A and B are shown apart, each in its own frame.
Chain A
Amino acid sequence: MEIVLVGLNHRTAPVEVREKVSFTADQARRAADELRARGILDETLVLSTCNRSEVYGVPPESSRDCLSGLASFLSEFHSVGPDLLTSSLYHHYDRNAVRHLFRVSAGLDSMLLGEAEILGQVREAYRSAHEQGATGPVLNRLFQGALEVGKRVRTETELGSRPMSVAAAGVKLAERIFGKLNGHSALVLGAGAVSEQVISSLRDRGITDLLVMNRSRDRAEELAQKFNGNVVEWASWDAGLLKPDVVVSSVSADEPVLPRRVLESAMNARGNRALFLMDLGMPRNIEAAASDLYNLYVYNLDDLSGIVQQNRQAREAEIPRAEVIVEEHVGKFLSWQASVELVGLVSALRARLREERTTFLRTRLSSVTHLSPGDREQMEVLMDELLEKLLVEPAERLRGERELRRKIQNVEALRDLFLSDRDKR
């Protein structure tokens, strides 16, 4: 029983290759079916996200043989030249494959360290493969372990708890003032890519009302429609600044878009209700002197980048703690795997010894003539008892002693030692 992994990710393959080898949910199911139908793998699971495509499996024979089969299957399935693939693919076995998957679900292998989506993607891939019946006892155990690792890393470390983009950091800061953003509203100045990113972050965090203001109304309409917001006429500050609690500005302009006097009168009109301003413009969109207004919180690009930088360092500092959790679960899985294999080994050994005993009696006892059929029978029973006695104690110790199972790391070596090739499987 071995686990094999073949795949590629953002580190080994450029986006042109990744998009060719990615699987839709349907394709993943079909690939899993075909891999099993062709006898390349007994158990299969295809994990495909925008940054990685990986096939996990348990091959019927030695995994070295299935590797070339897997690679050529991938190139055939996606109609990609084998040369292009070979340079991008990585492959791992057993311990390394297990560790790889656990690191993936922990977010340690992600492009954005500690990102949260991957755990959901692993869960979905497993659910789909499990429903389809493509997984078996080994992959079930493996992926349940992976989900547990992902969950533990996210609750026990801070690998994924801090925002890594300027937009997300700004939104998180707004939550330090207003708490949950449900029931609050935001005004977005400018309709470029940055604005879109911030709006998406705001929507993720549950902002209720969204206003978009842009010099060109068309683009504002487009953005408002996409995120279900409303357009406000450019520079109509009285209407635009009265209600929102969060204002995000990313406009390219030489002069500040929001001078102090505009904000001062807006704050008067609001009765000094707190206002959080994210200035993502360069040069700055909000006049620096405005930051001393009562109940106004102004953050510019440098402040927010500073937070992101801090967060990146904080996340990186959490890597060792996450790796400890990964290693703990790798050990757990391998010990489970070894115990299953050992139990299999013991029963294979018993079958083998019984067979040897039968052959032995048939060939050797034929020359001993003075034994009655009753004696022969008696002898068979006695030999069986001896064999059982020899096997029962180790089998029971294997069942009962976890430490012993942990010590026996290489079950294959034991197989090689006690069972000849034809009995291996």
Chain B
Amino acid sequence: MRREQGPMPHIFLYLTVLAYALSFGSYIRFLRTGREIAGGFGTLFLVLGLIAHYVALLERSRGLHTVPYHDLYGSMSLFGWLLALTYLGLEFYHRQRSVGAFVLPFILVFFLAAHLAPADRLSPTIAHGPVFAFHVTLSILAYAAFALSFVLSLIFLIQNRLLRNRQLSEVVWRLPALELLERMSRSSVLVGLISIAVGTILGFIWVDRLTGQYWYYDPKYVITLVVLLLYAVYLQLSRTTTWRGARASRLCIFNFVIVVLSFTVVNLYLSHSHRYF
């Protein structure tokens, strides 16, 4: 069932798509020409996109009379927003814009998939309150950060393969240096690990408040623990051991497959209380 929307939300949907698309175009141009100004526009449009996206999320939550992440589409949109935010943070921290062209398509796809699909009208739920809100936001932020490290590791493997095989096409000169990609991927995973750890603890606190018991079995716990462990292992391997480089990047990609598994199979079919995040 399609929820009713006034003209305003539509405007912000279009604005978000437009800003993200322009940002994507600018980043592509930056990658191809290496002109700083193109990269600067990429960042500018991304910031504008983030703002418009935020308003779109807000409108959606007003339309639903609940948090915007209460359904799959809402959590996908929030995921896209946090992905953009995490990427922007990394871009500023590492002063590197060549990755934007690879991240923006994901943000766009998540946003479009979430907002073009009809929203479920759900019955009011017990899911509310700041603890719950932070639990969800931090968990989705963790998934976004892991997605980003997945993209970065993928680029690492491509760049590494080109350099190892001495296939020096135009792209080689535009992609970030291997060491930088590793560092960006590691800091992204670190953000993910911290958010998922804090988010999970908040989840337990919330369950405790709601039911008076810390623990009841949910397959989501197991897979979250696995994800946590796998990323901790990646962080360790990529920094100091003989696995650093391509092997660690492959592990990072494998880890994200588990995350996707957690997001899809576990959420939809196995978990009782984690349907959408």
Residues of A whose CB lies within 8 Å of any CB of B are 155-156, 158, 161-162, 172-173, 175-179, 268, 271-274, 294-295, 297, 299, 303, 306-307, 310
A155 to B34, CA, bound (A): 9
Q: Which residues of the partner chain B approach A303 to less than 8 Å between Cβ atoms?
A: 166, 168
A299 touches B166 (CB 8 A): yes
B34 touches A272 (CB 8 A): no
Q: Taking the nearest CB of chain A, how far is it from the CB of B172, in angstroms?
A: 6
Which of B101-109, B194-202, B224-232, B238-246 lines the interface with chain A?
B238-246
B163 touches A297 (CB 8 A): yes
Partner of A158, one of B34, B164, B178: B34
B245 touches A178 (CB 8 A): no
Residues of B whose CB lies within 8 Å of any CB of A are 33-35, 159, 163-164, 166, 168, 172-173, 175-180, 240-247
Partner of B177, one of A156, A175, A294: A175
Q: Taking the nearest CB of chain B, how far is it from the CB of A309, in angstroms?
A: 11
B34 touches A177 (CB 8 A): no
A299-B166, A306-B168 known; A272 and B178 CB under 8 Å?
no
A176 touches B244 (CB 8 A): no
Partner of B168, one of A175, A178, A268, A307: A307
A274 to B159, CA, bound (A): 14
Q: Taking the nearest CB of chain B, how far is it from the CB of A88, in angstroms?
A: 39
A155 touches B177 (CB 8 A): no
A178 touches B179 (CB 8 A): yes
A158-B34, A161-B34 known; A177 and B179 CB under 8 Å?
yes
A303-B166, A306-B168, A307-B168 known; A176 and B242 CB under 8 Å?
no
Q: Can you identify 22 A-B contacts, CB atoms within 8 angstroms?
A: A155-B35, A158-B33, A162-B173, A176-B163, A177-B163, A178-B178, A178-B179, A179-B176, A179-B180, A271-B240, A272-B241, A274-B179, A274-B244, A294-B246, A295-B244, A295-B246, A297-B163, A297-B164, A299-B166, A303-B166, A303-B168, A306-B168
Q: Which residues of the partner chain B approach A306 to less than 8 Å between Cβ atoms?
A: 168
A271 touches B166 (CB 8 A): no
- Nearest residue, chain A, Cβ from B173: A176
Q: Which residues of the partner chain B approach A271 to less than 8 Å between Cβ atoms?
A: 240-242, 244
Q: A173-B163, A177-B177, A294-B245 are in contact. List 14 more A-B contacts (CB 8 A).
A: A172-B173, A176-B172, A178-B177, A178-B178, A179-B176, A179-B179, A271-B241, A272-B243, A274-B178, A274-B244, A294-B242, A294-B246, A294-B247, A306-B168
A294 to B248, CA, bound (A): 12
Q: Which residues of the partner chain B approach A172 to less than 8 Å between Cβ atoms?
A: 173
A274 to B146, CA, bound (A): 25
The 8 closest A-B pairs by CB, nearest first: A179-B177, A272-B242, A179-B180, A295-B245, A177-B178, A303-B166, A179-B179, A178-B179
Q: Which residues of the partner chain A approach B173 to less than 8 Å between Cβ atoms?
A: 162, 172, 176
A239 to B168, CA, bound (A): 32
A303-B166, A310-B168 known; A176 and B177 CB under 8 Å?
yes
A162 to B173, CA, bound (A): 10
Q: Which residues of the partner chain B approach A268 to less than 8 Å between Cβ atoms?
A: 242
- Nearest residue, chain B, Cβ from A162: B173
Q: Which residues of the partner chain B approach A156 to less than 8 Å between Cβ atoms?
A: 35
Q: Taking the nearest CB of chain A, how far is it from the CB of B246, in angstroms?
A: 8
Q: Which residues of the partner chain B approach A176 to less than 8 Å between Cβ atoms?
A: 159, 163, 172-173, 175, 177-178
Q: Which residues of the partner chain A approach B179 to less than 8 Å between Cβ atoms?
A: 177-179, 274
Q: Taking the nearest CB of chain B, how far is it from the CB of A316, in angstroms?
A: 16
Q: Taking the nearest CB of chain B, how far is it from the CB of A299, in angstroms?
A: 7
Q: Taking the nearest CB of chain A, how far is it from the CB of B154, in angstroms?
A: 17
Partner of B244, one of A175, A177, A272: A272
Q: Which residues of the partner chain A approach B246 to less than 8 Å between Cβ atoms?
A: 294-295
A294 to B164, CA, bound (A): 10
Q: Taking the nearest CB of chain B, how far is it from the CB of A79, in angstroms?
A: 48
- Nearest residue, chain A, Cβ from B244: A272
A273 touches B244 (CB 8 A): yes
Q: Which residues of the partner chain A approach B164 to less than 8 Å between Cβ atoms?
A: 297
Q: Which residues of the partner chain A approach B241 to less than 8 Å between Cβ atoms?
A: 271-272
Q: Taking the nearest CB of chain A, how far is it from the CB of B114, in angstroms?
A: 36
A294 to B244, CA, bound (A): 10
Q: Which residues of the partner chain A approach B175 to less than 8 Å between Cβ atoms?
A: 176
Q: Which residues of the partner chain A approach B166 to less than 8 Å between Cβ atoms?
A: 299, 303
A293 to B33, CA, bound (A): 33
Q: Taking the nearest CB of chain B, how far is it from the CB of A302, in angstroms?
A: 9
A158 to B174, CA, bound (A): 13
- Nearest residue, chain B, Cβ from A156: B35
Q: Taking the nearest CB of chain B, how far is it from the CB of A178, in angstroms?
A: 5
Q: Taking the nearest CB of chain B, how far is it from the CB of A283, in angstroms?
A: 19
Q: Taking the nearest CB of chain A, how far is it from the CB of B157, in angstroms?
A: 13
- Nearest residue, chain B, Cβ from A169: B168
- Nearest residue, chain A, Cβ from B243: A272
Q: Which residues of the partner chain B approach A158 to less than 8 Å between Cβ atoms?
A: 33-34
A328 to B79, CA, bound (A): 48
Q: Which residues of the partner chain B approach A161 to less than 8 Å between Cβ atoms?
A: 34
Among B178, B180, B240, find the residue whose CB has the most chain A CB atoms closer than 10 A: B178
Among A161, A172, A176, A310, find the residue whose CB has the most chain B CB atoms closer than 10 A: A176
A295 to B180, CA, bound (A): 15
Q: Which residues of the partner chain A approach B244 to less than 8 Å between Cβ atoms?
A: 271-274, 295
A407 to B36, CA, bound (A): 37
A299 to B172, CA, bound (A): 15
Q: Taking the nearest CB of chain A, how far is it from the CB of B174, in angstroms?
A: 10
Q: Taking the nearest CB of chain B, how far is it from the CB of A200, in angstroms?
A: 22
